[in-house]
Structures are given as C-alpha cells and as structure tokens.
Amino acid sequence: MNMLSNFENDPKQKLMIVGAPIEEGAGRLGALMGPAALRTAGLIRTLEEMGHPVDDHGDLRLPQTLPAVAPVAGLAHHIEKIAAWSRMLCVETYEAMKDGSFPVILGGDHSLSMGSVGGIARYCQENNRELFVLWLDAHSDFNTPATSPSGNMHGMSAALLCNEPGLEGVFGDEPHGLIKPENLHLFGIRSIDTVERKLLRERGIDVIDMRQIDEFGVAKLMRRIIERVQKANGILHVSFDVDFIDPSLAPGVGTTVPGGATYREAHLVMEMLHDSGVVGSLDIVELNPFLDDRGKSAMLLVDLVASLFGRQIYERPAVSDQSATALNT
C-alpha cells in the first residue's frame, strides 16, 4: 500500500503504536516506564475516541543475544543495546509505512529515534519521497562518540541520522535510511555543547532556538518549515522530546532545561502540524515517570498528541476559507 502521509486527505488513518522501553541511551534511569505511563494516561483510549483505528503492538523487548558492534573512537555507552533497539525499530517503522499505517513510537529515551527514523527514511528513499524531520527538543542531540562529553547516546541520535562518522556499526547489515542535514529542523533548542555548535553550522542544520521563538513566534517559524515540506511533496517525521516543554509544565524528564515551550506554544505546534497534512510519523521520547508529578507530564503529552491528530477547541473552517477571511478583515 502506498503511504500518502496526509491527514488532510485521510483524517482517520490507521495508527500503529509501538512501545520502546529503552533507557540505556540516557544518563538517568526511568525512561523505560514511559510507554506504560502514556498508555495509563489514556493515549490509546483518547485516539480511539477521536475515531482513529489504533493497532497497539505493545512494547518491544531486547533479544537475549545482542549484536556485535565494532569499537568506536570515543564514548558511546551501551552501544550494543542501542544497536539492538535501533534495528528492531527500523523494521517496525518501515513495515508500518509499507502497510499504510502511521507509526507512533512511545519512548523511552531519544536514542530510539535512530531506529524509528532509520526505517521511515528507508521507506521514503524507496518511494521517492523527501523526508524531513522536526526535532522538538531542548537539546540538539548532534554529538558523536568523538565529541560527546558524557557518552550518552540519546545525545547522538540526530547526528547518526545525518550520517556523522563514528556510529556506522549501529545498524550493521540492517537496511536503513538517513536524512539530509538540511532537512533536519531543530525546534525549541536551548542547550548546545560547544563542539555540537560547530558541527551544526558546518552541516547547515536549521536550528530554531528559543530566542527565535520569543522574537518571531511559533506560528511564523512553523509555517516556514511546513511550507518547505509541502513544496517538496515531502513527509515530515515529528520527534517530540518532553523537554521541549518548559519543566514547570512537564517535569517528568531527566534533562530539564528552563525556558521551554509554553502550554499554548506546544499546542499551536501540534495544531499547525495537523492542519498541514504533512506529518507521517511520530516519536514521543524521554518521558521519565519516576521524575514526574502524579502523571502531570504524561497527561499533557496525551493532550498534545490529541491536538496533532485533530482535536480542536472549536471546529475551524478549511485553510482556504481561513485565508480568505483573514484577507477580508
């Protein structure tokens, strides 16, 4: 089946849910409980009540035998486990896209995006579709084993996907795709390591930090990304890290950075993405229930995902009608 990846044309498209209880890529334990917390907070029920057919595949489990990965130059903790997760997730998202489903990956730390996006990128390459990635995050995640000060692989996922050297052994012989550096949009950034900053400039990555959001607003900056994807007839993958949101609203994450997106900014991002019809896949990463406040972060995430899949405060006219109305006022 050919995946159209357009909710404007197929508003009740089948969703494929996969849990990736991975915490080996992070510096703090607890993210493995993220998928369970999202289900407990009502994610599946909410999507079904909105009319979306949901196929919940449950949580993946690491195989007993981990793949052998060649030694890397630098620090990359638990690379064998990350490689196993990446290869499994790559297969899951690729098969979901082939089946015409919208893959939603519940994490788990951000290293899972190596696999989830790798499978989606493979599908896009085979079907001549341009893949773009919106990385909603406080961090740029563009370290490599040679540059990482911690060796935590959740800080290397964007770099691997843009084919930075040092992590070639993660996928082994598993077919996977990569993304063009210019197609990666880092949004909401407010913490970048020194060497990362140099790499981001050299690779031409689109970095939208909180200063830009403060100055120009979410709507203008999101519209620029959406229009670029639409012009290319592309597919947009959304990788949503909990720490994109201000920690006063979502404390359940191990890498909090003050000054994140507000409640309305986060919802506006999701609402605009839904209206655009270009989103084809989603990661929800870094939820750590051990650090949360009575499920506060998980429940907010469920509300935000509902906005991405079409929940509205009030039914709005079609985009063309809105534009005409705006021009006449």
Residue 186 within any structural domain of the chain:
yes
109 is known to lie in a ligand binding site = no
Query: Is 59 flagged in the annotation as binding?
Result: no
> What percentage of the chain exceeds 90 in pLDDT?
90
Q: How many CA atoms lie within 13 A of 70 on its CB side?
A: 8
77 catalytic per annotation: no
Residue 149 is assigned to a structural domain of this protein? yes
Residue 122 lies in a domain: yes
- Please give the structure tokens belonging to residue 74: 């630098």
Which residue out of 78, 110, 176, 274 is catalytically annotated?
110
23, 164, 209, 243: the active-site residue: 243
Question: Is 52 labelled as part of a ligand binding site?
Answer: no
Q: Determine whether 193 is an active site residue.
A: no
Contact by Cβ (8 Å): 20, 105:
yes
Answer yes or no: is 4 within a domain.
no
Active-site residue, from 196, 206, 209, 286? 286
Over the chain (329 residues), what is each successive 10-residue block's mean pLDDT?
A: 48 91 97 98 97 97 94 95 98 98 98 98 98 98 96 98 95 97 98 96 98 98 98 98 98 97 98 97 98 98 98 68 41
Whether 3 and 15 have beta carbons less than 8 Å apart is answered as no
- Cα separation, 67 vs 102, in Å, equals 28
Clarify whether 154 is annotated catalytic: yes
2 within a domain of the structure (yes/no): no
Q: In this structure, is residue 32 part of a structural domain? A: yes
Task: Give the domain CATH number at 240.
Answer: 3.40.800.10
State both tokens at 264. Answer: 């309305």
Catalytic pick among 23, 24, 137, 206: 137
295: Cβ–Cβ under 8 A, 6 or more apart, which residues?
Answer: 37, 40, 41, 289
DSSP letters spanning 106-175: EES-GGGHHHHHHHHHHHHHHTT--EEEEEE-SB-----TTT-SS--GGGSHHHHHTT-TT-TTSSTTS-
139 catalytically annotated? yes
Helix (H) or strand (E) holding 210: helix 210-216
Q: How many domains would you assign to the chain?
A: 1
275 noted as active-site residue: no
Does any domain span residue 10? no
Catalytic residue, from 24, 92, 109, 141: name it.
Answer: 141
Task: Judge whether 10 is annotated as a binding position.
Answer: no
99 a catalytic residue: no
Residue of 52, 78, 154, 267 marked catalytic: 154
Which amino acid appears at position 233 of this protein?
N
Residue 324, amino acid = A
Q: Does residue 5 fall inside a structural domain?
A: no
User: Which residue among the candidates 109, 164, 196, 241 is catalytic per the annotation?
Assistant: 241
77 marked as binding residue: no
Range of the domain at 269: 15-327
Alpha-carbon torsion (84, 88, 89, 90), positive or negative:
positive
Q: Is 303 a catalytic residue?
A: no
Q: Is 139 annotated as belonging to a binding site?
A: yes
Beta strands 54-59 and 184-189 are: unpaired
Q: What are the tens digits of pLDDT across the range 135-158?
A: 999 999 999 999 999 999 999 999
Rounded Cα distance, 45 and 55, in Å = 12
Q: Give the position of tokens 């534009």.
A: 323
